[in-house]
Structure 1
Amino acid sequence: MEPQTGFLSLAEELLCYILSFLPYRDILRCTSICRTLRQTYLSFSELQYIVETSGQQLLVIPNTDDSIPISERLQRLRDEAHAWFKVDTHPFLKLVPITWAPLSRENIVAGGHFCSWDPIGDTAMILPVHPKPSQQSIRRNWLPGTLCSVPHLRNLDVFMDPAQNLIAVAYAADHRTVYINLGALDGDGVHPQAAGERLVLSDNSRSATGNAKLKGFGRHIALSRLSNDENQNSVWQLQIWDWKYSTTSSVSFGLKELKELMVDSEFRASSAVQYPTDPAQLNFVSSGTIDCWIFFDLDEMAAAMPIPWEHWGPSNTRIFQRPSRSTIHGNRVLQRLYVGTGSSQFILQLLDFSPLAVTNGRGLGRVVKEPSTTYAIVDRFGTRGESLTTSLPYVQVVFSDRKFDRVHSQLREMWIDKDRIYMLSKSLRYPRDRLEVIDVKPDLRSAVVSTVDD
Structure 2
Amino acid sequence: MSSSELQYIVEMSGQWLLPVPNTENGIPVSTRLQLLRDKAHAWFKVDIHSFETVLIKGVTQTRKNFVAGGHLYLWNAQEDTATIFPIFPKPSQQSIQRDWPPGALCSVPHSYNLDVFMDPAQNLIAVVYVADHETVYIRLGTLDGDDVHPQAAGERLFLSDNSYNSLETIRAKLKGFGRHIALWRRLDDDNWASLEEVWQLQIWDWQNSTTSNSILNGGVPYQSNTTIDFCFLGNNRLLVITDNLKLYSIEDMSQTPELLACFLMPVSLMLRCLLPTDDIGHSSQQVQQTMYTSDPTHRLLCLTASSPRTSFSSSQVFIISTRIFFHFDRMAAATPIPWKHWGPSNSRIFRHPYHFKIHISGNQVLQALPVGTRNSESMLHLMDFSPLAVTNRRGLGRVVEEPSTIDISDSTGRSGGSLTTSLPYVQVVLSDRKFNSADSELQDIWIDRDRIYMLTADVEREMFGGDPMNPLRPIDQIEVVDI
- TM-score tier (shorter): 0.7 to 0.9
Equivalent position amino acid for 1:318 in 2: R
Match of 1:244 among 207, 213, 220: 207
Q: Secondary structure at the match of 2:8?
A: helix
Kindly indicate whether the alpha-carbon contact (under 8 Å) linking 1:213 and 1:290 is maintained by their aligned counterparts in 2: no
Offset at residue 396 of structure 1 (A): 1.4
Match of 2:371 among 320, 339, 342: 339
Matched, 1:419 2:450: yes
1:215 maps to which residue? 175
Superposition pairs of residues 74-153 of structure 1, within 5 angstroms: 74-92=33-51, 94-100=52-58, 103-153=61-111
Q: Secondary structure at the match of 2:138?
A: strand
**Mapped partners of 2:128, 2:242: distance in 1:** 33
Q: Between Structure 1 and Structure 2, which shows a larger proportion of strand residues?
A: 2
Kindly indicate whether the alpha-carbon contact (under 8 Å) linking 1:175 and 1:207 is maintained by their aligned counterparts in 2: no
Kindly indicate whether the alpha-carbon contact (under 8 Å) linking 2:70 and 2:86 is maintained by their aligned counterparts in 1: yes
Q: Secondary structure at the match of 1:155?
A: strand
**Structure 1 residues 234-266: Cα deviation after superposition (integer angstroms, max 9, x where no partner):** 23333333322333345444456989x98999x
Q: In the superposition, relative to structure 1, how do residues 69 and 377 fare at CA in structure 2: closer, same or farther (>3 Å)?
A: closer
What's the TM-score once normalised by structure 1's chain length? 0.74
Matched, 1:435 2:472: no
Matched, 1:349 2:381: yes
Match of 2:18 among 57, 67, 70: 57
1:403 maps to which residue? 434
**Mapped partners of 1:291, 1:389: distance in 2:** 22
Kindly indicate whether the alpha-carbon contact (under 8 Å) linking 1:103 and 1:120 is maintained by their aligned counterparts in 2: no
**Mapped partners of 1:126, 1:134: distance in 2:** 18
**Mapped partners of 1:120, 1:264: distance in 2:** 27
Q: Between Structure 1 and Structure 2, which shows a larger proportion of helix residues?
A: 1
Equivalent position amino acid for 2:274 in 1: D
Offset at residue 344 of structure 1 (A): 2.2
Q: Secondary structure at the match of 1:120?
A: coil
Percentage of pairs with the same residue: 55
Ranges in structure 1 where 5+ consecutive residues have no aligned partner: 1-16, 21-43, 441-454
Equivalent position amino acid for 1:79 in 2: D
Equivalent position amino acid for 2:5 in 1: E
Match of 1:314 among 344, 350, 354: 344
**Structure 1 residues 160-213: Cα deviation after superposition (integer angstroms, max 9, x where no partner):** 222221111111236764321110112111111112212223432343222222
Equivalent position amino acid for 2:107 in 1: S
Superposition pairs of residues 363-378 of structure 1, within 5 angstroms: 363-378=395-410
**Mapped partners of 1:312, 1:343: distance in 2:** 34
* Max Rg structure: 1
Q: In the superposition, relative to structure 1, how do residues 108 and 73 fare at CA in structure 2: closer, same or farther (>3 Å)?
A: closer
Offset at residue 339 of structure 1 (A): 1.3
2:150 maps to which residue? 192
Matched, 1:48 2:7: yes
Offset at residue 306 of structure 1 (A): 5.5
Tell me the matched-pair count: 389
**Mapped partners of 2:365, 2:453: distance in 1:** 13
Kindly indicate whether the alpha-carbon contact (under 8 Å) linking 2:370 and 2:378 is maintained by their aligned counterparts in 1: yes
Kindly indicate whether the alpha-carbon contact (under 8 Å) linking 2:160 and 2:211 is maintained by their aligned counterparts in 1: no
Q: In the superposition, relative to structure 1, how do residues 197 and 303 fare at CA in structure 2: closer, same or farther (>3 Å)?
A: farther
Offset at residue 356 of structure 1 (A): 2.5
Matched, 1:277 2:257: no
1:168 maps to which residue? 126
Q: Secondary structure at the match of 1:73?
A: helix
Q: Secondary structure at the match of 1:343?
A: coil
**Mapped partners of 1:84, 1:255: distance in 2:** 43
What's the TM-score once normalised by structure 2's chain length? 0.70
Offset at residue 358 of structure 1 (A): 4.6
Q: Secondary structure at the match of 2:388?
A: helix
Matched, 1:291 2:265: no
2:265 maps to which residue? none
**Mapped partners of 1:373, 1:426: distance in 2:** 35
Kindly indicate whether the alpha-carbon contact (under 8 Å) linking 2:259 and 2:333 is maintained by their aligned counterparts in 1: no
Offset at residue 227 of structure 1 (A): 3.0
Matched, 1:393 2:424: yes
Match of 2:189 among 213, 229, 253: 229
2:266 maps to which residue? none
**Mapped partners of 1:334, 1:183: distance in 2:** 32
